[in-house]
Amino acid sequence: MHNSTRPLSGWLWPAMAAVTVAWPVSGLAQQAGDVDPDALSLLRKSTDYLVATKQFSVVTATTIEAVIADGQKLQFDQRVAVTVQRPNKMRAERVGELIAETFYYDGKTLSLDLPQQKYYATAAVPPTLDGMLDAARDKLNVIAPGADLVYANAYERLTEGLTSAFVVGEAVIDGAPCDHIAFRNAEVDWQIWIQQGTRPVPRKFVVTSKRMPGSPQFVSVMSNWQTAPTFTDATFSFVPPKGAQKIDFLPVAPAVPK
């Protein structure tokens, strides 16, 4: 079973000419060659907050951009609802044009349900969120939605290989005042909008792939953050639907020797 999502650190996924007239873009470009400690501090504050939050839920509206053979760009939307209970439970429901699936982790088993196809797969995984996410990626070829923000070392993962980081300014996302920050590494340019105040949750991501033709983007807007939700064991437990067929996860292809 293949999941096409990739974590932020590994995503290899219209210029607005009028902006150059009204905005001091050259001033921003001069900052973009350095790693601004203020940008890192804002990101650290957000990731530390999420790591310290024992349980949370969030809904994201995601747009995935694809570039077809003739260079035309297409966009595909999806809605993802993620619930996490540390140290070892997670559920993610994804519904969109490309796929509909629900991801369950109950502390022992990872299950992936494809209701439209009436297929499901299950596998034993480690008893921690980090261990499960690694095993799912490395052994089962599955990347959980929102995985980069779930890891205990989210800050280190997001800042690995940075070549640029700066604070763009203040913004408002869905009514919430935010700090807008831009980052760059060898593979992608990415931006994050972090809510200001005592709940520094991320409210928006934009990731631009620099090495794929057409530089497609991934955009995710986060809403309905709940940092003290109530869950039951049933939230994270998978029961195969009647008539569904069990299949195997698609194994990870072995590395090709260079």
pLDDT averaged over every residue in the chain:
86
Among 234, 236, 238, residue whose Cα is nearest residue 89: 236
Gyration radius of the chain's alpha carbons: 19
**Average pLDDT of the residues in 106-110:** 96
pLDDT of residue 152: 94
pLDDT of residue 99: 86
pLDDT of residue 85: 95
Q: Using CA atoms, how far apart are residues 152 and 169, in angstroms rounded to an integer? A: 28
Among 159, 162, 178, residue whose Cα is nearest residue 170: 178
Query: Quick one: CA dihedral 204, 214, 167, 165, positive or negative?
Result: positive
β partners of residue 76: 64
The residue with greater pLDDT, 30 or 78, is: 78
With 80 as the cut, is the pLDDT of residue 66 above it? yes
With 60 as the cut, is the pLDDT of residue 12 above it? no
What the block records as the tokens of 140 is 């089962």
Q: Using CA atoms, how far apart are residues 191 and 77, in angstroms rounded to an integer? A: 19
What the block records as the tokens of 64 is 């995935």
With 60 as the cut, is the pLDDT of residue 68 above it? yes
Structural contact between residues 42 and 181, judged by C-beta atoms closer than 8 angstroms = yes
Quote the CATH superfamily of domain 31-243. Lipoprotein localisation LolA/LolB/LppX (2.50.20.10)
Structural contact between residues 84 and 104, judged by C-beta atoms closer than 8 angstroms = no
Pairing mode, if any, of strands 119-124 and 245-246?
A: parallel
With 60 as the cut, is the pLDDT of residue 149 above it? yes
pLDDT of residue 252: 65
Range of weakest confidence among 36-50, 68-82, 133-147, 191-205: 133-147
pLDDT of residue 255: 54
β partners of residue 112: 103, 121
Domain ranges of the chain: 31-243
**Average pLDDT of the residues in 12-22:** 32
Chain centre distance of CA 93: 13
pLDDT of residue 233: 86
